[in-house]
Structure 1
Amino acid sequence: MSPNLWRFNKKKAQPFRVPFEQIQTHGPFAEQILKYCQQANKRDLIILCVGTDRSTGDSLGPLIGSKLEILSLQHFHVYGTLEYPVHAMNLADRLAEVNSKHDNPFIIAIDACLGQEVNVGSLTIQEGPLHPGAAVHKNLPKVGDIHITGIVNVGGAMEFYVLQNTRLHIVMSMAESIAQSLYLADQQISSSTTTSPTIQTVFQYTPTDMKNV
C-alpha cells in the first residue's frame, strides 16, 4: 500500500490521472504507459504488482498480476499475482530475483494507495519510484522507474482498518482497467500501424456507486 504522495509534493510534475468516472476507457491510460515504455531503450520491461490478497484494499496489485497472466503479454514480464504475491515480507527478495534475471530492467511498479475521498477509484501513472508500505508506516525499498497507483479508499487515519473495509467492487474495477490498459499498450508495441486494437473487457462494470465506501 503506497501513499498518495502527489498531493503533498508540489514541486514534482503532476501525474497523469484518470478520474473514477472514466476508468472504463483504457486508451488514454495505455498511451501514457506506452510513452514511458518507449523511453526504456530496449531494456526488459517488468511489471511488478505489489500487494497482498489478505487485505481487500491491498489486493489491487496481485489481482492485476493474475489478470495479466491470463492475457499473455508479449513484451512485459509480470511479477506479483494472487498465487505468488509481492508484499512487505518478500519485496526485497523479489526485487533481487528481478535484477538477477534481467539486466538493467525497466520496472513499472503497481500498488494501491489511499487518498482524498473525491479521488477514490482514480488511477494515476507517474515517473519515479513507488514507496510501498509508506501509507501504513512500513519502511520498504523504493521500487520502479515509473509507478501506477489506484486510489482504493480514503486515507488519513486507521489505515489498516480502512484497507480491510474497502469495497471489492472498487478494487476489481480498477484492476480490470489497469490490466486492460497494459494489454493495450503491449499490443501497440507489437503493432506496426497506428491503429489501436479493440480490447474485449473481461467483465463488465458500471462506475455508479463506487464512492460509497
Structure 2
Amino acid sequence: MRATLSSTNDFRIHYKENNAIWKLSSLFLQHIPFDTHEIIFFCIGTDRSTGDALGPLTGSILSESPIFPFSVIGTLENPLHALNLQHHIQQTQLDNPSAFIVAIDACLGQGSSIGQLLLHSGPIHPGKAVGKELPPVGDLSVKGVVNIAGFMEHAVLQSTRLHLPFEMSRIIARALQLAYNRHKS
C-alpha cells in the first residue's frame, strides 16, 4: 500500500503502511507552510470516548514535545470539543487572524477504511458523524478513520478500542515532528 491521491486535494494513507511516518511527513511538508505563517493545531475530540480521543491524544503528544514549537489546542487534559470549539475558533480569529490552522479529528467510515489517515486541503467538519452541527475549521484537515459508520455512531465511538486512536495519534505526531525537522534542515 502507499499514500494515494483520491481527489485534487485529498490524500489517504494507512497508519500501518511501510514508511507511513516518512510519507505522511512528506505530505505535511507539501501542505503546511512551516516558514510563512503562524501555525495552530486544533486537536478535536474528547477523552470521554475512546473512538473520539484521536485529536486529544495527538495534541498531548505534540504539546509535550520540546522540539515542536507550535500552538496546540486540544489535549487529554484540556480537550477541544463541541462545547468549546466555537469559542476557540473565535478567539483564534481575534488573536491570530492570519494563522494557518491544522485540524485533527477522528471520523467513522467504511470497514475497509479503518486505520486510514485522510488529509484534505480545507476545513474539517467536526461532529458530522454523530449529527452535530459544528462550525468547519482548518486550512488543512487530518482525519483518522477509527471505526465503522452507519449505525449508532455514539455507541460505536464509545466502544472503539483505544489502541487504534492511540497508535494513529503517535503516527500523526511523529510525522508532524519529522516534517518540521525536515523543514528546518
How does the TM-score come out when normalised to structure 1? 0.79
Aligned residue for 2:128?
134
Among 83, 87, 93, the alignment partner of 2:87 is 93
CA separation of 1:123 and 1:79: change in aligned 2, threshold 3 A: same
Post-superposition offset of 1:105: 0.7
Alpha carbons 1:23, 1:174 under 8 Å: kept: no
Q: Can you list the C-alpha shifts for 1:184-203, whole angstroms capped at 9, x where unaligned?
A: 11112221xxxxxxxxxxxx
Q: In the alignment, which residue of structure 1 is the partner of 2:24?
A: 29
Correspondence for 1:17? 12
Within 2, Cα distance between the matches of 1:63 and 1:187? 21
Q: Tell me, in whole angstroms, the C-alpha distance in 1 between the residues paired with 2:66 and 2:96.
A: 19
Checking the alignment, whether the CA contact within 8 Å between 1:20 and 1:120 is kept in structure 2 is no
TM-score with structure 2 setting the length: 0.91
Residue correspondences, number: 180
- The question of whether the paired residues in 1 share the 8 Å contact of 2:146 and 2:165 is answered with yes
Q: Is the 8 A contact 1:75 1:186 kept in 2?
A: no
SS at match of 2:48: coil
Matched-pair contact (CA < 8 Å) for 1:24–1:177: no
Q: Which has the larger radius of gyration?
A: 1
- 1:106 aligns to 2:100 (yes or no): yes
Structure 1: unaligned runs, 5 residues or longer: 1-9, 192-213
Cα distance, 1:151–1:71 mapped onto 2, change above 3 Å:
same
Structure 2: distance between partners of 1:164 and 1:107: 27
1:123 matched to 2:117? The reply is yes
Structure 1 partner of 2:3: none
Answer yes or no: is 1:177 the counterpart of 2:150: no
Name whichever structure is richer in strand by fraction.
Answer: 2
Distance 1:24 1:155 in 2: 28
Is residue 51–residue 62 contact of structure 1 (8 Å, CA) maintained in 2? yes
Q: Which amino acid aligns with 2:147?
A: N
- Name the SS of the counterpart of 2:58 in structure 1: helix
Offset at 1:44? Answer: 0.7
Q: 1:67-100 CA deviation, whole Å, 9 max, x = no partner?
A: 0012134452211101111100000111122223
| Aligned position for 1:70 | 64
Give me the identity figure in percent. Answer: 42
